[in-house]
Structure 1
Amino acid sequence: MGCLGAVAASECKVYEYLLNTPACNQTRESVTEFANRCEGFKLTVADKQNVLNWRPTSVADVYAMVEDCGKRFSKDEQGGTQNEEERAKELLGLVNEIFSRPPIKQEDELEVDMKDI
């Protein structure tokens, strides 16, 4: 199954599942760095987990993953000059900076090739 050592069957299943998600190549250090650097976004624990597990790749993804994103990233809440879309882009940039891109799966490569045609 790809698991090494004496582990429970359920742990192997979780491991196998995670290999097929965007979180497949995260490290403890990158997760800790993200947790420390995203404090200014006022994310809840659930928001952070969504971002960590599914890694947004667009502003639309950020809005889907962060509850009440529009309200929490608005000018009034932040007290600054950035609008909510700029804050969402800033969070997206932070994710892209900290986490390396997940490896491309074979199905994804086929989709990319078909777009080139």
Structure 2
Amino acid sequence: MKIEKANAGFLTNFEVLDFLRSRGAKTDPMGCLGAVAASECKVYEYLLKTPSCNQTRESINEFVTRCDTFKLTNADKLNVINWRPSSAADAYAMIEECGKRFSKDDRGEACNEDERVEEFLELVKEAFPSPPPKPEEMTE
């Protein structure tokens, strides 16, 4: 693989997964021989267990467009796209200074921080499909 333009920007997990799919990555190690490196197959296999496995370009674009009122940084957006928070605790862990930033609405006026976080989580829920079940959830 050749680097065309160093530091051109960040990639979402979805974009990496899409790239690996286009190169022919598979979960079967024997099916990967020749087409892609074994390490790429491992990355592909890992990404299939993350929320990126069932995202689409449209859902990502919808989220980016609709989240403007929350004044998220590009790094915040990337974290949310990659990990799809489903609880307030997840949002606080992913978004830098979430409490401080969500205590003001898009006009800069004070508002209820908890309500803004719930509004944000509802946006995430509407924009992105449900994440894949975790292995321990599948056995129950």
TM-score (norm 2): 0.67
**Alignment match, 1:57:** 86
CA distance in 2, matches of 1:76, 1:35: 17
Answer yes or no: is 1:43 the counterpart of 2:72: yes
SS at match of 1:13: helix
**Alignment match, 1:92:** 121
Structure 2 letter corresponding to 1:62: A
Cα distance per residue 1:12-64 (max 9 Å; x no partner):
33322211112221111111111111011000111011111111111111111
Which sections of structure 1, spanning at least 5 residues, go unmatched? none
* Bigger share in helix: 1
Answer yes or no: is 1:2 the counterpart of 2:31: no
Structure 1 letter corresponding to 2:98: C
- Of 32, 45, 50, the residue aligned with 1:16 is 45
Structure 1 letter corresponding to 2:124: V
SS at match of 1:103: coil
Over 6 Å off, 4+ runs: none
CA distance in 1, matches of 2:119, 2:134: 27
Quickly say closer, same or farther: Cα 1:17–1:106, change in 2 above 3 A. closer
CA distance in 1, matches of 2:38, 2:59: 27
CA distance in 1, matches of 2:123, 2:36: 34
Quickly say closer, same or farther: Cα 1:78–1:65, change in 2 above 3 A. farther
RMSD between superposed Cα atoms in Å? 2.4
Which sections of structure 2, spanning at least 5 residues, go unmatched? 1-25
Worse overlay, 93-102 or 67-76: 67-76
CA distance in 1, matches of 2:106, 2:99: 10
CA distance in 2, matches of 1:2, 1:109: 19
Structure 1 letter corresponding to 2:115: E
SS at match of 2:111: coil
